[in-house]
Amino acid sequence: MRRTMILMSILIVYSILSVADAQKEKVSGEWPAYGRDSGGSRYSQLSQINRENVGNLKVAWTYRTGAEEVKGVAARNAAFESTPILIDDVLYLTTPYNRVIALDPATGAERWTFDPQVPLDRRYSELTSRGVSTWPAANAGRSRQDAARRIFLATIDARLIALDAATGKTVPGFGENGEVDLSRDVRVVDRSNYQVTSPPAVIGDLVVVGSAIGDNRGVEIERGVVRAYNAMTGKLRWSWDPIPTDRRDPARRTWAGESAARTGAANAWSIISADLERDLIFVPTSSPSPDFYGGERKGDNRYANSVVAIRASTGKVVWHFQVVHHDLWDYDVASQPMLIDLKRSGRQIPAIAVGTKMGLLFVLDRRNGKPVFPVEERPVPKTDVPGEQTSATQPFPKLPRPLVPHQLKAEDAWGLTDKDRDYCRDKIASLRNEGIYTPPSLKGTLAIPGNVGGMNWSGMSFDPVRNLLFVNTNNLPFEVKLIPRDEYNRMRETGATNRVKGEFGRQTGTPYAMYREPLMSPTGTPCIAPPWGRLAAVDLATGDVRWESPLGRIPQLGLFGARAAEWGAINLGGSVATAGGLVFIAASMDDKLRAFDVETGKVVWEGSLPASAQAAPMTYSAGGRQFVVICAGGHGKLGTKRGDFVVAFSLVESKK
C-alpha cells in the first residue's frame, strides 16, 4: 500500500509539472518553432502591442545578413523567406544560402554565424531557406530539458546539420562530423534539383525531413522520401515514400501498372507538423512527376497531393486525406497543416486545417482524418488529350466557401484600358475553359487558380479565442499548354523557346512538353478582376468567411493612387495573430509590413521596410518589450525589391 501511495504521489507531481510545462509554453514570449508551435498555429498570447497602441510601433533595430553581396547565377532567383525562431533568449534565422545567424533579440547584435559552404555555382530549382528548428522541442517534457540545445539546419544541397545552439559549431557526435548527407539512399538524378528548403520537424528525439524537388523535368526524377533521424546521433530511424511501393498497401492500387516504381516527386517540400501527445506527424505532399501530364501514372495517385498522418515512432501511415486526385495542375499541399483545438457545437475537436492552392480549406479531425465540415466529390471536366486519364470527380468542402474564384469567363475579362480588356477577352476565349480542374490541353487551358494559388507555402494563423483562421490568397489564372514532343524539339532547335515570357517543362518520358504563363494583359496586370491578393478571416465555429481585405500593392501601379490599394497584390509570406487583436503580415510585392484588426479586417498600421518581405513575421518578448520581426530581402522569381535585412519593430512612447 505504501509503495502504491508513493507511486501515485510521484505520478501526481509529474502530472502537475507536465501541465506547468505546457502552460509555460502557451504563455511564453518565445517563438520556438517556425509556426510558433509544432502545429503551426502562428498565434502569440503577447498583447503589449495591441489595437490601441499599434500606431506607436517603430523600428527598434535592423540587422544585415550580408547575403546581398552574393552575385551571379545563384543570386538571381534567391528569395529571403526565413522566419526566425526565439528560444533561450537567442534569435536564430537563415539566409537564402543556408548561412545560420544567431542574434540578441533585444538589440539585434550578432552572437555567432555558421556558413555550411553551400556550392553557389549550381542552378538550384529553388534558392531559399525558410528557417531552422531546435531540439529539444519546447514541448519535449522535463526529461529532456537538461539536454544541450541543438539547432537543426536542412540545406539546399541536401544536408541535415546539427549545431550547438550556444556556439554555432557543428555537433561532432551527429552523423559524420555534425551532418547527414540526405542524397544517400534515394534516387537522385540531379543534385541541383534535390534540396531541402523548409526547417525539419522535431518530435521527441526525432528530426523529420522532406525534400524540395525540381518540377516538370520528367517522369523518373527524384522520389519524395520522408525520413526520420535520431536527434542525438543522426542515425536513420525510418523512411516513408509517398509513392507506395508495397503491393499490399491499398494506396498502391491507385497507381496503374508499374507507375509507382517509375514516377518521382510527391515530395513534402513544405512544413511538416507534429503532435507529440498523439505520436503523429502530418506530412503535406505534392504532385507526382511530371505535374501537368499524368498518362504515365494513371489512377488517383494516393498519398500524393495529400496530408498524411504518420506514427512518429514507427513511420507507419495512420490515415491520409487526398485534396486532389490525379493532379494535373501543380496543386501541391504547399501550406503547413495547422493543428488546432476547434470549439464547435459545445465541444473541443483536435483538428487539422489544410489550406490548398485551389483556395479550398479542408478542416479534419486529426485523430482519424474525417472531415469536420462535410466534403463531397463533384464531377469535373474530362481530358481530351490522347494518353491521359483524368479523375471523374474532385473533393470540395461544403464549408468554408472557396476563398478564390474558380471560374473566369471571356465576358468577365479585366484590364486597365479597353485595349487590355479586349486582349484578355480574346485570350480567354481561345483557351479551353470550364472552370477549376479543366485539364491541360493541346490548344491551351485556362487554369484557375494557377499554380501559385490560392494558398501557397505562406500558410495560415489562428486566433483560438475568437476561433478565427487568417489566410492570405492569390487570384491569378494561368495558361497551361501541352506541346507534342516533336513540336517541342523543333522549338528548341529554332530558339523559339527562348522568345517567350513563360516557362517550359521538358516532361521527359511522356509524349508532351509543357508551357505555362500567368494570364496577363499587355500592360502587365492580371486578366481577372482584382483584388489579386487578399487576407481573409474564416470563422471555424461556423465555416463562414468573416471578412476579406485587399492585401498590399503592386508598386508598378503606384500612379493609380488609392485605387491600387483596393487591388491587392500577388503575395508570398504568412501572417501572425496576437492576443492584442492584430494580424501582422507583409508578403505583398510592396515594401510594407501591415497590421490588420482581427475583428474587422481594417489595416490599422503600416511600417515601411528597406526591401520587400516575402516571409512570415514572428513576435516575441525580450527585456520586457514585445517585438515584431520580419526578414525583408525580396524574391527573385517574383521580381520584388531585394535586400538582406532583418527588421524588428517595438513600441515607443507617444509624444504628448
323: which residues sit within 8 A by CB, 6+ positions away? Answer: 305, 306, 307, 331, 333, 354, 356, 358, 360, 362, 395
Name residue 228's beta-bridge partners: 208, 238
Beta-carbon count within 10 A of 242 CB: 27
330 is annotated as an active-site residue: yes
- DSSP-assigned states of every residue in 177-224: TTEEETTTTS--S-GGGEE--SPPEEETTEEEE--EE--SSBSS--B-
2: which residues sit within 8 A by CB, 6+ positions away? Answer: none
Q: Residue type for 547, please? A: W
Nearest Cα neighbor of 155 from 212, 208, 112, 207 is: 212
The dihedral through the CA atoms of 179, 184, 190, 193 has a sign that is negative
| Contact yes or no for 552/535 (Cβ under 8 A) | no
The single residue of 330, 332, 590, 597 carrying the catalytic annotation is 330
Q: Are strands 575-578 and 43-44 parallel, antiparallel or unpaired?
A: parallel
Q: 3-class DSSP state for residue 380?
A: coil
Q: Is 502 exposed, middle or buried (0-12, 13-18, 19+ CB in 10 A)?
A: middle
Nearest Cα neighbor of 546 from 466, 459, 460, 464 is: 466
CA–CA dist 134, 152 (Å, integer): 6
Q: Are strands 78-79 and 127-128 parallel, antiparallel or unpaired?
A: parallel
CA–CA dist 227, 207 (Å, integer): 8
How many Cα neighbours within 13 Å face the side chain of 25?
A: 17
CA–CA dist 383, 439 (Å, integer): 6
449: which residues sit within 8 A by CB, 6+ positions away? Answer: 357, 358, 359, 404, 405, 406, 436, 474, 475, 476, 477
Cα-based angle 345, 347, 350 (whole degrees, multiple of 5): 115
Q: Are strands 468-474 and 460-463 parallel, antiparallel or unpaired?
A: antiparallel
| Contact yes or no for 480/447 (Cβ under 8 A) | yes
Could you give the residue ranges of the DSSP H alpha helices within 338-449? 418-429
29: which residues sit within 8 A by CB, 6+ positions away? Answer: 44, 46, 86, 620, 621, 622, 626
Nearest Cα neighbor of 130 from 156, 148, 112 is: 156
Catalytic residues: 330
